[in-house]
Amino acid sequence: MISSVRRAIALTLAACAPLATPLVFGSEFPSKPVRIVVPYQPGGSTDAMARMIGQKLSERLGQPVVIENKPGASEQVGAVTVAKSPADGYTVMMATTIGLAINPSLFSKLQYDPAKDFAAILPVAKIASVVAVSPQLPVKNMEELTTYLKAHPGKISYGSAGSGAPSHLAMELYKRAAGVHAVHVPYKGGAPALQDLMAGNIDVMIALVSEAMPLVKAGKLKALAVTSPSRNQRYPELAPVADSQGMKNFEIYLWYAMVAPAGTPKDVVEKLNQSINAVLNEKDMKDRLAEMDIELVGGPASRVATIVSSEGAKWKKVIDEAGIRAD
């Protein structure tokens, strides 16, 4: 908890502390292309969202916005790239709570320091997950899943995108809250895990709504509940996990935030914050991302610190109790 609070305080200070650079800097920014680093391969939701934002941000800034994919090591490759870039606002990153809040508890030797290496620009968006099961599993809701797991201890398997991935941590959180046991089967990415779930080779997975629901609609998976605290407007038939017995306050989102290298001038951060917030408020942006099951957030840079603190504390407890390590 203490480390999470320190990390949050550092992000707040990095975003808000006065700097020696004159305020005229912001009025001149940008005078050349801006680079958004995406710590994932092209084609995923993070990449797609960054490209949508980049296109509209370019129109507002009057400069090209280039997307550069730097995948690898649970966001570490992209994070190191940005951390070592000049603190001038021309390199930013579309980060998630994986890189900002989870990695510090997963890796004993992290290649960057989320608390010291970044200045928060704004929280961008969040996406919930869905509890999905194989069509062959004889359960229809969370109560039935919990009962079934208790009746078959150690015989039911769940998949994840890898050890320490959000899909792994989410199931560990559920297992502890429900008092059940299931066998973890890690995969190299979410896609192969979902393939095996459809085939019945594994039984359960907590996957992003955007990844699982198209398969549910196609009749290839069953969805039991969503991890948001209230029903999803696009899938109102799914109750929240939190409505199930013993699951009060169960809430899981993957959060996205835009960050810059630490030391980026305050007025530059503010200009990026205002410009990206304006982009997020455009109706077509809201509509396009809603179709991807992504909920826009936006707001002040300081909110990133609040999110990182809360998420960091929650997942550190799960990681430590489960003894999960990624290195």
At residue 7, the pLDDT reads 56
- The verdict on 80 and 96 lying in the same domain is yes
Residue 43: inside a domain: yes
What CATH code is carried by the domain that includes residue 116? 3.40.190.150
Which of the residues in the chain have pLDDT under 50?
A: 1-2, 5, 9, 13, 16-26
Please list the residues that pair with 256 across neighbouring strands.
96, 125
Residue 327: inside a domain: no
- The verdict on 217 and 261 lying in the same domain is no
Residue 248: inside a domain: no
Residue type for position 1: M
- The verdict on 104 and 149 lying in the same domain is no
- The verdict on 260 and 111 lying in the same domain is yes
- The verdict on 9 and 118 lying in the same domain is yes
Residue type for position 49: M
Domain edge (last residue) among 180, 212, 243: 243
The backbone torsions φ and ψ at residue 296, rounded to the nearest 5 degrees and listed phi first, read -70, 145
Structural domains in the chain (count): 2
Residue 15: inside a domain: yes
What CATH code is carried by the domain that includes residue 146? 3.40.190.10
Domain edge (last residue) among 243, 264, 284: 243
Residue type for position 167: S
The verdict on pTM exceeding 0.85 is yes
Task: State which residues form the domain around 144.
Answer: 128-243
- The verdict on 50 and 144 lying in the same domain is no
Residue 224: inside a domain: yes
Q: 173: buried, middle or exposed (CB in 10 Å: 19+, 13-18, 0-12)? A: buried
At residue 223, the pLDDT reads 99
- The verdict on 118 and 261 lying in the same domain is yes
At residue 27, the pLDDT reads 58
- The verdict on 121 and 9 lying in the same domain is yes
| 72 dihedral zone (left: phi>0; alpha: psi -120 to 50; beta) | left
Please list the residues that pair with 41 across neighbouring strands.
none
At residue 326, the pLDDT reads 87
Residue 165: inside a domain: yes
Residue 98: inside a domain: yes
- The verdict on 80 and 142 lying in the same domain is no
At residue 22, the pLDDT reads 40
- The verdict on 114 and 32 lying in the same domain is yes
- The verdict on 157 and 171 lying in the same domain is yes
Give the whole-angstrom CA distance, residue 133 versus residue 154: 16
- The verdict on 152 and 119 lying in the same domain is no
Domain edge (last residue) among 203, 218, 243: 243
Residue 249: inside a domain: no
